[in-house]
A and B are shown apart, each in its own frame.
Chain A
Amino acid sequence: NAGVMQNPRHLVRRRGQEARLRCSPMKGHSHVYWYRQLPEEGLKFMVYLQKENIIDESGMPKERFSAEFPKEGPSILRIQQVVRGDSAAYFCASSINDWTGPYNEQFFGPGTRLTVL
């Protein structure tokens, strides 16, 4: 059973370009979360999605950032007109989300390390 897949693992962009980060959840998981980790810091929640729905985007910057999780295919985190401050590791997690049950464990992908030149 493959784990959470993310690609690319490393992404270099120049200021003003667009960055697209992809995440495929674990098999059987229909809930996806995106987190950002700045160097030497913990992970910060960005957005929580189910298929075709954004459930909670309270951690997303108001501009330039968007996320989707289409009916078919991976979840995409899109950053338009990147700036140097966007350089970070972006982690995707997935869960089976039986939130009425005892566990709501999130399993993390390997991350995409974005560098903005």
Chain B
Amino acid sequence: ELKVEQNPLFLSMQEGKNYTIYCNYSTTSDRLYWYRQDPGKSLESLFVLLSNGAVKQEGRLMASLDTKARLSTLHITAAVHDLSATYFCAVGYNFNKFYFGSGTKLNVKP
């Protein structure tokens, strides 16, 4: 079974700082998704990464995919409090089955 590991699981950072969340997966896949979840809410799609070397940016978040290393990163630049949430990566496998990481709970302190 495909395994997806995220780290760190918890991240507390000051506003204005930079940090990276890592997502490793165990089986070849060319589809990687990042989602954001606020407490008690559903998942909001952030990025869809479909090919090796793909890089996407939206505001203070940038995601990249290295399919050879089976690694995706979510980089946060100059964090603000509004980014506090739990971030999940998900790997698409066998067309429609998604495997999720355990999530990274981000707390940005003012």
Residues of A at the B interface (CB closer than 8 Å) are 31, 33, 35, 40-45, 48, 55-56, 58, 91, 93, 95, 97, 99, 102-111, 113
Contact = CB atoms under 8 A, between A and B. Distances in A.
B42 A106 contact: no
28 contacts: A31-B96, A35-B98, A40-B103, A41-B103, A42-B6, A42-B102, A43-B43, A45-B97, A45-B98, A48-B96, A56-B97, A91-B42, A93-B98, A95-B96, A97-B96, A99-B95, A104-B92, A105-B33, A105-B45, A105-B48, A106-B33, A107-B45, A108-B43, A109-B42, A110-B41, A111-B41, A111-B42, A113-B40
B98 A33 contact: yes
B22 interface: no
A108 B37 CA distance: 11
Size category of the B interface is 20 to 34
Main secondary structure of the interface of B (DSSP, over half): strand
Interface in B55-110: 88, 90, 92, 94-103
B91 to A, nearest CB: 11
A56 B98 CA distance: 12
Nearest to B6: A42
Contacts of A55: 96
B13 interface: no
